[in-house]
Chain A
């Protein structure tokens, strides 16, 4: 088992009075891909937001290399090497494709991911570098969002709904890019509606249901029925 990079311990998260997460635990090893699955509203995005500091939580609920970082400011957490590819891509609309990439990296430590490296991974972005980020197709925008996260040369990348709303052929391209990204040794949490696709690339998975972990482990340890039950709830 790889050394634990990120540990979530008893994470509770709230939106005002509404509680979205009820004591979630998970561990992400260095260089591992973890699939985070669960039905709509299960709390997957909330978990990623708590890790990145966009949703408050107490400090010992998120440990990075054993150090409590829960509730720190989002820009601090980003500096610690955690990047998010957010749900809905969220490109900066007044920035060009290239500026969207540059802003992802210009405050970060240098590393293997540079503009050239991102353009090599997604050649189409190089051709469209001067266009406004939001003038691209959905798939290309997702590539920009991924490139923007890579430019920070993070140790951990969190992907939220990486394939939502994209055509199957585009999804194939995006997943093809995931392989060389994972091969660089970066740790990944992958939130994905397409469970079998996510379990295909992940080493471990965590299934959330109504803010709690309903099942976790390695994909091979559980049969399809158990995972489906954990996904939709036992009563189905």
Chain B
């Protein structure tokens, strides 16, 4: 039963990784940009949630009603002010700008909040669990987070394939030049993609803050997990990203079961294995 438990916990953790990855995948899909600051934005969202919870007394999960729109606005602003001016010229400049944003965020958070690690307390929810089988009980909170992650990815997928905004995303990704002739203002569309990504990041940040300790330098690891989930699942495919997150989570769960030191390593090994055997990921987008 220990093994079943390890796998189930891995699946649930994988939902969170998929959430880390979804925003990354979205940005890559729309503007072919790898956002190095993605993990630091997750941590920024966690700190904003911390401040909101302290200031308002809201439950951490409820703080989303403030953190999500705030992060979306920050994402839109970053895109319009810093990233758009560099996009389209070459691949390296926007990448370097996101690297710069990452460094500034880490140092800004360090200066404001010190290097102490923090956590958001979710109260009684943290220990609540249900028994699904004898010897296998699941935490309500991880289950809830997993369900929200799946719903969010479903929602993103719906926006991408069923709405006018999603059509504009796909058209811009297919042929940015001709998309402009469809009266699409590319700067705004890119801004909206980053806003959407940052909105998802906000949820990921809140979940992260409840689940684990975080500090200003936690971002790069989240970026790495998100990145691995995206690559395992296949670039530009959101359902693949969910699967990638789950594969990564399960690998880590099994690794931890073998020995605590193996948790992270097992995840990286699976990542390298997929990269070596299926460089386009397990579920490459049909082209």
A-side residues, CB < 8 A to B, are 52-54, 73-75, 78-79, 83-84, 86, 90, 92-95, 99, 102-104, 106-108, 148, 152
Contacts and interface: CB of A to CB of B under 8 A. Distances in A.
Given A92-B170, A92-B171, A95-B174, A106 B181 contact: no
A75 B177 contact: no
Contact of B182 (A93, A94, A103): A103
B184 A107 contact: yes
A90 B178 contact: yes
Interface residues of B, number: 18
Given A54-B181, A73-B185, 11 more contacts: A75-B184, A75-B185, A75-B186, A78-B183, A86-B181, A94-B171, A94-B173, A95-B171, A99-B167, A152-B182, A152-B183
A78 B167 contact: no
Nearest to B170: A94
B183 A102 contact: no
Contacts of B164: 103, 106
A51 to B, nearest CB: 11
Contacts of A152: 182-183
Interface in B88-131: none
B179 interface: yes
Given A94-B173, A95-B171, A107 B182 contact: yes
B181 A84 contact: yes
A106 B168 CA distance: 10
Contact of A103 (B167, B173, B185): B167
B180 A90 contact: no
A88 to B, nearest CB: 10
Identify which of A75, A83, A93 gathers the most chain B CB atoms within 10 Å of its CB. A75
A52 B183 CA distance: 11
A103 B172 CA distance: 11
Contact of B174 (A84, A94, A102): A94
A104 B174 CA distance: 15
Contacts of B2: none
Contact of A104 (B170, B175, B177, B182): B182
A210 to B, nearest CB: 25
Contact of A108 (B168, B171, B183, B186): B183
A148 B179 CA distance: 11
Contacts of B178: 86, 90, 92
A75 B180 CA distance: 5
B180 A92 contact: no
For the complex of A and B, 10 pairs with smallest distance between CB atoms? A74-B180, A107-B183, A92-B174, A92-B171, A94-B170, A78-B183, A90-B178, A75-B185, A75-B180, A75-B183
Contact of B181 (A74, A94, A95): A74
Contacts of A54: 177, 180-181
Identify which of B178, B181, B183 gathers the most chain A CB atoms within 10 Å of its CB. B181
Contacts of A84: 181
Interface in B175-197: 175, 177-186
Contacts of B180: 53-54, 73-75, 78
A52 B171 CA distance: 18
A155 to B, nearest CB: 14
B206 to A, nearest CB: 32
A108 B181 CA distance: 11
A104 B170 CA distance: 14
Contact of B167 (A53, A79, A93, A102): A102
A54 B181 CA distance: 9
A92 B175 contact: yes
Contacts of A75: 180-186
Contacts of A102: 167
B175 A90 contact: yes
A83 B182 CA distance: 8
A148 B186 CA distance: 18
Contacts of A53: 180
A102 B166 CA distance: 13
Contacts of B168: 103
A95 B167 contact: yes
A94 B182 CA distance: 15
B168 to A, nearest CB: 7
Contacts of B174: 92-95
Contacts of B184: 75, 107
A86 B179 CA distance: 12
Interface in B135-177: 164, 167-168, 170-171, 173-175, 177
Identify which of A52, A92, A93, A152 gathers the most chain B CB atoms within 10 Å of its CB. A92
A103 B178 CA distance: 11
A95 B170 contact: yes
Contacts of B186: 75
Contacts of A95: 167, 170-171, 174
